[in-house]
Amino acid sequence: MANKKFDEFIKSLTTQKLKSARKFSAISEVRNKKRFELKIKNIYKIRETLKNTYLIVVKNYKKEPKIRYFLAHSLASVSSDFLVYLARDFARENNLKLIQYSLYPKLLRLNLLCLKEFSDSENYMNIITLFKEFDLILERRLKNLKKLII
């Protein structure tokens, strides 16, 4: 019963599915010093709340659960190692994953995505507020850096 409610919640979040000419590349995850690939099933834009937020549906490498859901927020549309360096301490403190990933492979741009896995609808708003806080912190750090340079 709870899974059915969660599936309905997932359907209510999504608006449009991102399309690619080829399959989206997999996301890798390290567990117990072993690398596992999580194959992307679908990527959806989130309907409301925060701009540049996506729902990534992946096939699990284990049997249970067969499908995992990640909320992803694009911190930068063109990523660099420097931006990752600025963002990584906040990500570590809040158990977020930072990846450089191409949402639109034809554009050849790597977005800086912040990922957080969720499995129930109660975590959704907590994750969104965490993403908003992350945006503000990264923007503040970039403005401070600009002041130092100019």
Q: What digits encode the pLDDT tens for the residues 89-141?
A: 999 999 999 988 888 777 778 889 999 988 777 788 889 899 999 999 999 99
* pLDDT score of 21 more than 60: no
Share of the chain above pLDDT 70, in %: 91
Residue holding tokens 């499908």?
67
Share of the chain above pLDDT 90, in %: 21
**What local confidence, expressed as pLDDT, does residue 7 receive?**
73
Question: pTM (2 decimals)?
Answer: 0.84
Backbone angles phi, psi at 143, to 5 degrees: -65, -40
What are the tens digits of pLDDT across the range 39-59?
Answer: 888 888 887 777 888 888 888
Reference 18, options 124, 101, 80; nearest CA is 101
Both tokens assigned to 6: 């969660």
